[in-house]
Amino acid sequence: MTRSAAYSNILGRLSHQSVVKHFDAYADVPWDHPDYRIDATDARWELDENDVLGGTEWYRTQPREIRSRLGLHGIVTQMKLGVEFEAILSQGLLQFATSLPNGAPEFRYAYHEAIEEGQHSLMFQEFINRSGLEVRGMGGVDAWFSRRVPSIARSFPELFFLFVLGGESPIDYVQREELRKRDALHPLLRRVMQIHVTEEARHLCFAKNYLLENVPKLGRIRRFQLRFRTPIIFAAMAKQMLEPPKALIREYGIPSSVVREAYTENPVHRQRTLDGLASVRKLCFQLGLVQPRWWRMLGILPEGEGDARDAFDDESGVRRLGPPRPTSVPTSSRRLPGVVRACPRSWVQPLSA
Ligand SMILES: [Fe+2]
Ligand SMILES: [Fe+2]
């Protein structure tokens, strides 16, 4: 397999970063410090009024203990989902690694990532155990589907890494927003999220660069499959990651009118979903995987985005460039090739620098 110099350089940087900047679930989190104790009645677990559910009148009129407990239960539920998602991911990464020839640099990085996901799952499960709250994992169709994902990493790794991005991007977005906006975060939650977003930045960077390197080399049928399946995966994963499961709704007796007000019919929640997928949407435009009508039907493409200037040539998969669109990417980094733009700038210097 031939690799571009930029991609090889990023792989080297990512593996190096995994050695010099990694965390241990127990050595790097002071679980037994009194300030890190979890108390379900602690007011710091309460959802604030900017949260889509926390801003509803129903939530604000609940007793204070219930508001705190529900806030903590939502966090714990997401962590359980995280443990299950990371288990699928790790199985897939190991299958992907075993499909590689000797000497492939992806092998080493895939193992670094699987080890990091193991540490994250240890952190999440320890948090769940210490919360004292009961939380169940996936069931039904979701569990059936997820058992089939790891084998895709071997047979169709490009689809697998798009699945990875579909799960990791919305959660990464939410955790970064929480860290940025909420001063009164419980120190244990802050520590767990800080560790997670630091290492997830590498995982997202690898998945994006793997796709930028390999999707253009695929044939027409595989590209068609990606164009059809990717938005379905993104829509399903965003819903799973950003909305409360039925078990939580039942346990707290959240009325269906409140669920509609907070989630299904709330433009703020819709915008949050779109924002959570913004970086992967941009990547898919770059890869020529966006069919605007299909994406819009699934509710993951903002109005006005994906018009004629975003069309792609079906034969070559190369973007037919239209007029430049406004972008939030700083002018200086727009000059970098796409494969490099997906990573922090400090990671794209040559290893010898
Ligand atoms: Fe993780
Ligand atoms: Fe990850």
Q: What is the mean pLDDT of the chain?
A: 88
Q: What is the whole-number distance in angstroms between the Cα of residue 175 and the centre of ligand 1?
A: 12
pLDDT in tens, 195-242: 999 999 999 999 999 999 999 999 999 999 999 999 999 999 999 889
Exposed, middle or buried: residue 117 (CB in 10 Å: 0-12, 13-18, 19+)? buried
pLDDT over threshold 80, residue 101: yes
| Residues 6 or more apart in contact with residue 108 via CB below 8 angstroms | 15
Which ligand ends up closest to the CA of 196? 1
Catalogue the E-assigned strands of the chain. none
Percentage above 90 pLDDT, the chain:
77
- The CATH classification number of 5-344 equals 1.10.620.20
Q: Which two tokens stand for residue 334?
A: 């727009």
Gap between the Cα atoms of 325 and 67, Å rounded: 43
200 Cα: distance to centroid of ligand 1 (angstroms) = 6
Q: How far is ligand 2, taken at its centre, from the CA of residue 50, in Å?
A: 27
Question: What pLDDT was estimated at residue 1?
Answer: 67
Handedness of CA 232, 238, 240, 241 (dihedral sign): positive
In angstroms, what is the span from residue 282 Cα to ligand 2's centroid?
19
pLDDT, one tens digit per residue, over 108-151 is 999 999 999 999 999 999 999 999 999 988 878 888 888 899 99
Span from the CA of 292 to the centroid of ligand 1 (angstroms): 30
Q: How far is CA 102 from CA 13, 97, 98, 105, 228, in A?
A: 20, 10, 9, 9, 33
For residue 74, report the distance from its CA to the centre of ligand 2, in Å. Answer: 20
Q: What is the 353 CA–ligand 1 centroid distance (Å)? A: 29
**Closest-CA residue to 214 (of 144, 259, 130, 156):** 156
Beta bridge partners of 319: 312
Closest ligand to residue 168's CA? 2
Summarize pLDDT for 284-339 with one digit per residue, the tens: 999 999 999 999 999 999 988 876 544 444 444 444 434 334 433 333 333 333 33
CA 16 / ligand 2 centre spacing (Å): 17
173-193 pLDDT, tens digit each: 999 998 988 778 999 999 999
Query: Please, what is the angle between helix 157-181 and helix 64-98, to 10°?
Result: 150
What is the mean predicted confidence (pLDDT) over 29-50?
Answer: 96
Ligand nearest to C-alpha 202: 2
CB atoms under 10 Å from CB of 337, counted, come to 11
Q: Would the pLDDT of 347 be above 90?
A: no
64 CA to middle of ligand 2, Å? 34
- pLDDT of 307: 65
The residue-averaged pLDDT of 271-281 equals 94
Furthest-apart CA pair in the chain: how many Å?
Answer: 61
The closest alpha carbon to 133, from 172, 78, 87, 188, belongs to 78
* pLDDT score for 350: 45
pLDDT at site 146: 84
pLDDT band at 345 (very low <50, low <70, confident <90, very high): low
Which pLDDT value is given to residue 282? Answer: 95
Cα 204 to ligand 1 centre (Å): 10
Residue 167 C-alpha to ligand 2 middle, in angstroms?
9
Residue 203 C-alpha to ligand 2 middle, in angstroms? 5
